[in-house]
């Protein structure tokens, strides 16, 4: 009955999120499990443990290891259990589709996880009510469903099963545990380690502590007897765990020269430091020869590393108590009771007598909560080193939630038992005074609507009607409860309790708004990008979901890097030929308040402008562009699917040469305008690109903001220029500061900015040429970056000469970077052409950039 209830709720959640609809079933791929499922597909198809997606941050590592040119990349991302488990499901079902590898796999693991949670509750408390309420607490919480349609249902299953095995194993002397239990516990520890080594290692250390405590307690029996007990009990568990992990260790040694190697430790380490440049390092391109180790990170960015720890601890605590405050309060109450009910020691009892007596449930829960608490602390000491600052680890500490739910479920069971004892008296009381209570209820419903405005469609009982409209399922249950009042007055059997749990959970269920918004941002509006990608078989670089290129075309993919010109660094530094560049909804991805990359790498702005203004990539032809608009509430963002295809390799090679002149005022040079830019106008017969406060808007309130609001990127080859001449149009009198190679591969320390300063220039209104000398010490062969900043970017209207001033000032004004209305006076700058007036915040416009030998 419990299994059927869990399956019904699971199916309901998948249906309501759209994952069972043919039109939106593919959106289940918006998950980290998508990569693992495709690795599993390669396994099932006979291609080995290989991946089609390689993080940009790992290019240099794979290059140095001699693995970058492999026909298929050996997978080093994460530990292997999930991929092998999904591969087994592929073989069992005969299908390697994402529906099997993600949807079905997650659903099976999710149902199994909750069934084991129920078994854990029954094992500890010896009653079904507490176990059922533990499952009800889990299903009533909206975040639990992240394990269903996002990731880690399998890890939750293993952690819960490990808790169950540990409870039975530690309930008596280890050497008396059954062989089946010892082998099972060792297997679970090994599998947990292969899924989440941070969790498996924590459980193993906790078990080692109990082994050492048992050895110390039995020390009077002599070393031989103690060793024999340890080997029979804990030794067998450890041997089985090691046996499960040895194959991966051997394979890792053979492939990478290190046992238990995971590339996550390499590419996730810079997260939250100046070396991550604010973005997920999946997209971050590292300078060749500069792969950072943990020791080097502590040396190069000690403040950032400390902040990763402290701020993440605080954020995790805040989020945990906000999300699970009630469950933790109930757990704390039970834990306090457990601490007070410790059985007094019997002076005549021996240790053997204590071991022989079965523990009370309260003793078992105390021990299990201790193990869960230790595992949480263990992970809090390590995980923040590989994440952002102020990162909440609630999801990655969720392996401890089964113990919280089981404990809180027991507290609720005790409470409900006391209510059940009083229930017949309450029912009889209501029956005797039913007219009085019915009248009071009617008056309360009418009072609920007092003060509400009536309408033609809802003339009375407005507020109850609105509530019923918002909570239609709960309203239906209220009606059913009113009709079936007599059924509710009967004694509650277990099956009725299960049915009631299902009704309550379904009534409380809410869809995941964050995931729904993300799906609208990430997925294309049509299937045309997939069709175009399937036309070729070469390497792709994409600003799109991880593994999406692989699922749609079977091709290999490297993420688009933080600066668009690094697409050519792939070519020059690693001899990679990127055949297609696929950009999916870059404007929406960086939209403040909507996109996941709003505070990510500043150079992602280039991709949005490539889609918006129709620019080009040297050597590539735009073979697909599907424009559109995405609106979610009051937020409106550009949404487009664009694919560039390599057609002129020689032109791509010429990007490595030092340019003579860059026409920044032309959309053809968008790839060089890294960030801080908007559209294009003509001023006094010259084309110009508009600079804006886009960076200040994107990074409002963020510590990850780059040092310069405007960045221009270019390659320098064998020819080294002595100076730059930049055509600048001043929208008003201001001061221009020019820097070089600030925030290139990492954010430059603010104390070092003066060393990169090239010039400070007083600008006057109108066109002028700024000449800047280039010190050889600040130049490098390869990608370089020119940085610009001005004193202010005041409110400005770029207005065609034919429009009257009043019409110019009527153009919609953007809000300030903090979102408030901009009420400052606007200045008008006259442009050529017949386009509309453009209101924005700008201090200057740029024409050409000339490199002087």
Instruction: Report pLDDT digits (tens) over 832-848.
Output: 988 889 998 898 999 99
How far apart, in whole angstroms, are the C-alpha atoms of residue 576 and residue 586? 23
Residues 629-656 as b or e (16 or more Cβ within 10 Å = b): ebebeeeebbbbbbbbbbeeeeebeebb
Q: Count of alpha carbons within 13 Å of 392, Cβ hemisphere only?
A: 12
615 and 764 inside one domain = no
pLDDT, greater one: 187 or 286: 187
Q: Give the phi and the psi of residue 506 in degrees, each rounded to 5.
A: -65, -35
Q: Which residues pair with 689 in a beta bridge?
A: 680, 846
* CB 574, CB 63: distance < 8 Å: yes
- Please give the pLDDT value at position 175: 87
Number of domains in the chain: 3
Instruction: Report pLDDT digits (tens) over 559-580.
Output: 999 999 999 999 999 999 999 9
534 and 582 inside one domain = yes
593 and 673 inside one domain = no
669 and 774 inside one domain = yes
The answer as to whether 423 is a domain residue is yes
pLDDT band of residue 51 (cuts 50, 70, 90) is: very high
The answer as to whether 721 is a domain residue is yes
Instruction: Report pLDDT digits (tens) over 73-103.
Output: 999 988 899 999 999 999 999 999 999 999 9
- Give the chain's length: 853
pLDDT band of residue 353 (cuts 50, 70, 90) is: very low
pLDDT band of residue 478 (cuts 50, 70, 90) is: confident
Q: Which residues pair with 114 in a beta bridge?
A: none
CA dihedral 76, 82, 86, 87 (to 10 degrees): 40
Q: Cβ atoms within 10 A of the Cβ of 454, count?
A: 11
- Please give the pLDDT value at position 341: 59
- Please give the pLDDT value at position 488: 61
- Please give the pLDDT value at position 473: 66
**CATH number, position 757:** 2.60.120.260
Contacts by 484-489, CB closer than 8 A, 24 or more apart: 489/427
* CB 34, CB 548: distance < 8 Å: yes
Mean pLDDT of the chain: 89
489 and 595 inside one domain = no
pLDDT band of residue 461 (cuts 50, 70, 90) is: low
The answer as to whether 33 is a domain residue is no
pLDDT band of residue 460 (cuts 50, 70, 90) is: low
- Please give the pLDDT value at position 800: 92
The answer as to whether 705 is a domain residue is yes
Domain boundary among 479, 509, 539: 509
Instruction: Report pLDDT digits (tens) over 361-402.
Output: 777 788 899 999 999 999 999 999 889 899 999 999 999 999
Instruction: Report the candidate in 261, 262, 260, 279 with the shortest Cα–Cα distance to residue 270.
Output: 279
* CB 842, CB 793: distance < 8 Å: yes
- Please give the pLDDT value at position 657: 96
Sheet with 578-584, side-by-side order of all strands: 557-559, 539-543, 578-584, 635-646, 620-632
pLDDT at 354 over 50: no
pLDDT at 825 over 70: yes
pLDDT band of residue 289 (cuts 50, 70, 90) is: confident
How far apart, in whole angstroms, are the C-alpha atoms of residue 579 and residue 608? 20
583 and 695 inside one domain = no
Instruction: Report pLDDT digits (tens) over 425-451.
Output: 877 787 788 788 888 878 887 777 765
How far apart, in whole angstroms, are the C-alpha atoms of residue 512 and residue 311? 26
Mean pLDDT of 802-808: 89
Instruction: Report the candidate in 245, 233, 254, 222 with the shortest Cα–Cα distance to residue 80.
Output: 245
DSSP output for 488-513: HTS---HHHHHHHHHHHHHHH----H
The answer as to whether 311 is a domain residue is no
Domain boundary among 475, 509, 543: 509
Helix (H, G, I), strand (E, B), or coil: what is residue 697? helix
**139 CB-contact burial (10 Å; exposed 0-12 / middle 13-18 / buried 19+):** buried
Cα Rg of the chain, angstroms: 32
pLDDT band of residue 701 (cuts 50, 70, 90) is: confident
pLDDT band of residue 456 (cuts 50, 70, 90) is: very low
644 and 725 inside one domain = no
452 and 589 inside one domain = no
The answer as to whether 796 is a domain residue is yes
- Please give the pLDDT value at position 457: 52
Q: Give the phi and the psi of residue 746 in degrees, each rounded to 5.
A: -155, 160
The answer as to whether 313 is a domain residue is no
pLDDT, greater one: 362 or 739: 739
- Centroid of chain to Cα 95: 28
Domain boundary among 652, 681, 697: 652
426 and 533 inside one domain = no
434 and 446 inside one domain = yes
Q: Cβ atoms within 10 A of the Cβ of 210, count?
A: 18
The answer as to whether 775 is a domain residue is yes
pLDDT at 358 over 80: no
Mean pLDDT of 229-249: 93
Task: Tell how strand 710-716 and strand 757-763 pair up.
Answer: unpaired
734 and 800 inside one domain = yes
743 and 762 inside one domain = yes
Residue 755 sits in which domain range? 657-853
pLDDT band of residue 112 (cuts 50, 70, 90) is: very high
- Please give the pLDDT value at position 491: 67
């Amino acid at each position: 009955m419990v299994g059927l209830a869990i399956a019904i709720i699971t199916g309901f959640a998948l249906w309501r999120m759209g994952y069972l609809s043919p039109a939106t079933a593919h959106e289940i791929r918006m998950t980290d499990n998508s990569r693992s499922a495709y690795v599993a597909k390669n396994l099932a198809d006979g291609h080995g443990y290989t991946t089609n997606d390689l993080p940009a941050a790992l290019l240099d590592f794979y290059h140095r290891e001699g693995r970058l040119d492999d026909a298929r990349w050996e997978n080093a991302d994460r530990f292997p259990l999930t991929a092998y488990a999904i591969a087994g499901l592929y073989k069992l079902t005969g299908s390697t589709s994402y529906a099997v590898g993600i949807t079905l796999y997650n659903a099976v693991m999710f149902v199994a996880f909750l069934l084991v949670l129920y078994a854990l509750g029954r094992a500890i408390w010896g009653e079904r009510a507490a176990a059922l309420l533990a499952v009800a607490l889990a299903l009533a919480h909206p975040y639990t469903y992240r394990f269903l349609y996002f990731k880690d249902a399998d890890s939750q299953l293993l952690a819960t099963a490990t808790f169950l095995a540990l409870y039975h194993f530690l309930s008596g002397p280890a050497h008396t545990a059954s062989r089946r239990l010892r082998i099972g516990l060792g297997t679970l520890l090994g599998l947990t380690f292969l899924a989440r080594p941070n969790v498996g290692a924590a459980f193993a250390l906790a078990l080692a502590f109990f082994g050492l405590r048992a050895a110390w307690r039995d020390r009077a029996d002599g070393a031989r007897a103690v060793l024999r007990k340890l080997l029979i009990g804990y030794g067998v568990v450890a041997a089985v765990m090691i046996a499960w992990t040895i194959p991966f260790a051997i394979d890792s040694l053979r492939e990478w020269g290190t046992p238990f190697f995971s590339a996550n430790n390499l590419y996730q380490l810079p997260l939250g430091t100046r070396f991550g440049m604010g973005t997920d390092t999946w997209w971050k391109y590292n300078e060749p020869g500069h792969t950072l180790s943990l020791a080097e990170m502590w040396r190069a960015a000690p403040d950032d590393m400390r902040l990763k720890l402290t701020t993440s601890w605080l954020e995790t605590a805040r989020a945990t108590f906000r999300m699970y405050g009630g469950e933790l309060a109930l757990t704390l109450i039970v834990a306090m009771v457990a601490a007070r009910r410790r059985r007094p020691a019997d002076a005549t009892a021996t240790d053997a007598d204590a071991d022989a007596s079965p523990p009370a449930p309260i003793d078992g829960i105390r021990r299990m909560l201790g193990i869960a608490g230790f595992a949480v602390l263990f992970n809090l000491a390590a995980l923040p080193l590989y994440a952002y600052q102020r990162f909440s680890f609630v999801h990655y500490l969720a392996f401890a939630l089964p113990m919280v739910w089981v404990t809180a479920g027991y507290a609720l069971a005790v409470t409900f038992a006391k209510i059940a004892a009083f229930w017949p008296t309450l029912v009889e009381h209501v029956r005797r005074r039913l007219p009085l209570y019915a009248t009071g209820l009617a008056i309360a419903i009418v009072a609920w609507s007092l003060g509400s405005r009536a309408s033609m469609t809802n003339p009375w009982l407005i507020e109850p009607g609105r509530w019923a409209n918002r909570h239609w399922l709960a309203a239906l249950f209220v009606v059913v409860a009113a009709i079936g009042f007599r059924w509710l007055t009967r004694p509650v059997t277990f099956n009725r309790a299960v049915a009631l749990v299902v009704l309550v959970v379904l009534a409380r269920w809410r869809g995941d708004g964050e995931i729904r918004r993300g799906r609208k941002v990430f997925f294309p509006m049509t299937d045309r990008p997939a069709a175009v990608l399937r036309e070729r078989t070469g390497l792709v670089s994409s600003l799109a979901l991880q593994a999406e290129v692989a699922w749609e075309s079977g091709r290999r993919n490297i993420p688009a890097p933080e600066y668009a010109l690094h697409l050519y660094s792939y070519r020059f530094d690693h001899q990679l030929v990127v055949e297609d560049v696929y950009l999916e909804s870059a404007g929406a991805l960086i939209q403040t308040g909507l996109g996941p990359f709003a505070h990510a790498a500043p150079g992602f702005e280039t991709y949005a402008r490539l889609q918006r203004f129709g620019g080009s990539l040297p050597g590539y032809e735009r073979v697909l562009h599907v424009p559109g608009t995405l609106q979610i509430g009051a937020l409106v963002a550009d949404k487009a699917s664009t694919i560039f295809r390599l057609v002129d390799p020689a032109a791509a090679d010429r990007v490595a040469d030092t340019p003579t002149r860059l026409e920044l005022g032309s959309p053809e040079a968008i790839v060089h305008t890294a960030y801080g830019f908007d559209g294009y106008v003509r001023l006094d017969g010259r084309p110009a690109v508009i600079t804006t406060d886009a960076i200040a808007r994107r990074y409002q309130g963020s510590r990850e903001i780059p040092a310069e609001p405007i960045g221009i990127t270019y390659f320098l080859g064998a020819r080294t220029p002595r100076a730059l001449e930049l055509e600048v149009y001043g929208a008003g009198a201001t001061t221009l500061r020019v820097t070089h190679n600030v925030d290139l591969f990492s954010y430059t320390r603010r104390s070092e900015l003066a060393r990169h300063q090239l010039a400070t220039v007083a600008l006057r209104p109108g066109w002028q040429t700024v000449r800047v000398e280039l010190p050889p010490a600040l130049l490098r062969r390869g990608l370089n970056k020119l940085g610009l900043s001005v004193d202010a970017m005041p409110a400005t209207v770029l207005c065609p000469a034919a429009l009257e001033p009043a019409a110019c000032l009527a153009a919609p004004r953007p809000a300030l970077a903090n979102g408030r209305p901009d009420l400052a006076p606007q200045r008008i700058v006259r442009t050529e052409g017949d386009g509309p007036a453009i209101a924005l915040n700008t201090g200057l416009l740029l024409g050409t950039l000339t490199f002087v030998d």
